[in-house]
A and B are shown apart, each in its own frame.
Chain A
Amino acid sequence: MCARVYDCLKCIGERIIENREFLTDLDREIGDADHGVNMARGYAAVIEKVPRDNPDIGAVLKKTGMTLLSTVGGASGPLYGTAYMEAAKALAGKESLTKEDFGKALELAVAGVGKRGKSVRGEKTMLDALIPALDAYNRKIAEGGSLADGLDCACAAAKEGVEHTKSIAATKGRASYLGERSIGHQDPGATSAMITLEAIRDFIRE
């Protein structure tokens, strides 16, 4: 994946924008009905503001992070913003990306979310999709799988993680105000994290 990082971000953005109503509906159940609106606004700004032809993947991801920080508006702004800015650290100056690079970037991104949100797995947040996805990716790569294979496994694990969020109560974010009453509903942030990974996988596969 060289110098196509903008195109990949655009794919993610389009997928998020397509799912705007769906994500917002999920957030209506256990939050404040803005997750899709927030994320779509953020990615529309990314598609518009991030340079198309800067070959430095790290620099492009950093700009993406900064853009999300200032345009998303909700908790997902500083969370995904930090994720991209942390991933950028692993890819600074790189013009192409190996499966190891991607693994490192994903690891830093996931750790960034946890640090920003002061959250761990099992709290009904985007981490319930991201942490299993990272683990599955690493397992597949350790077995000798390709970037695309790793991403397939990451997406499958993220999907299971999203399902799992239905069975647990939220202890972080707005949904935590509902406590046990949040059980039965799927977490919007975990869902957008899964959509993001799927968009990356589809981009790499094609």
Chain B
Amino acid sequence: MVGIVIVSHSRKIAEGIQELAEQVAASSGRILAAGGLEDGEIGTDAVRISDAIRAADDGDGVAVLADLGSGIMSAETAVELLDGEGIDVRLADAPVVEGAIAAAVEAACGSGIAEVIRAAEEARFVSKNIETGGRP
């Protein structure tokens, strides 16, 4: 199964999204949270993120969902730190909550990394307008 790593400045946010995503992906163990710094402070840590990516990979690749600002820069740095390890890791250009849930559903269905990333990225078009059924 494609692994998923959730990056946020806040450990609680990353773990909360992991919990939500695991519900839809039946606790596959392939969804990991890499939020905050090692000591729990607010921030992002490229080394922690790269460790999570390594742990999330079972050979099918890993999709990374990150929040704002340095979340993205640290995730990109983490991907570079893994250079040469042969992990197919890709960053989704997606909102972190909606994207993670969509990615988890797709991954749990057995889709490949490209489809998982696409599902995450399409999540940005999901409207919050309940009357229109959530589609724009």
By a beta-carbon cutoff of 8 Å, the part of chain A in contact with chain B is 34, 38, 41, 66, 69-79, 81-82, 116-117, 173-174
Interface mask (B1-18 → A, CB under 8 Å = 1, otherwise 0)? 000000001000000000
CB distance from B67 to the nearest CB of A (A): 12
User: A-side binding surface: helix, strand, loop or mixed?
Assistant: helix
CB of B44 to closest CB in A, whole Å? 7
Instruction: Return the 8 tightest CB-CB contacts between A and B, nearest first.
Output: A73-B43, A70-B47, A75-B70, A78-B73, A69-B46, A78-B77, A70-B45, A78-B74
Q: Does B114 contact A (CB under 8 A)?
A: no
Number of B residues with CB within 8 Å of any CB on chain A: 17
B residues adjacent to A (C-beta < 8 A): 9, 37-38, 41-48, 69-70, 73-74, 76-77
- A82–B41 touching, CB < 8 Å: no
Some 12 contacts from A to B, beta carbons below 8 A apart, are A38-B43, A69-B45, A69-B77, A70-B38, A73-B41, A74-B70, A76-B70, A77-B74, A78-B46, A82-B77, A116-B76, A173-B69
A73 touching B77 by the CB < 8 A rule?
A: no
- Residues of A within 8 Å of B37, CB to CB, are 70-71, 73
Residue of B nearest to A173 (CB): B69
**Minimum Cβ distance to chain B for residue A33 (Å):** 12
B85 → chain A, closest Cβ, in Å?
Answer: 16
Q: How far is the CA of A82 from the CA of B78 in the complex (A)?
A: 11
Q: How far is the CA of A117 from the CA of B73 in the complex (A)?
A: 7
CB distance from B53 to the nearest CB of A (A): 14
Task: Output the least CB separation between A163 and chain B (Å).
Answer: 25
Residue of B with least CB distance to A75: B70
Could you list 11 further interchain pairs (A-B, Cβ under 8 angstroms) beyond the known A69-B45, A71-B45, A116-B73?
A: A69-B74, A69-B77, A70-B47, A72-B43, A73-B9, A73-B43, A74-B43, A77-B46, A77-B74, A78-B70, A78-B77
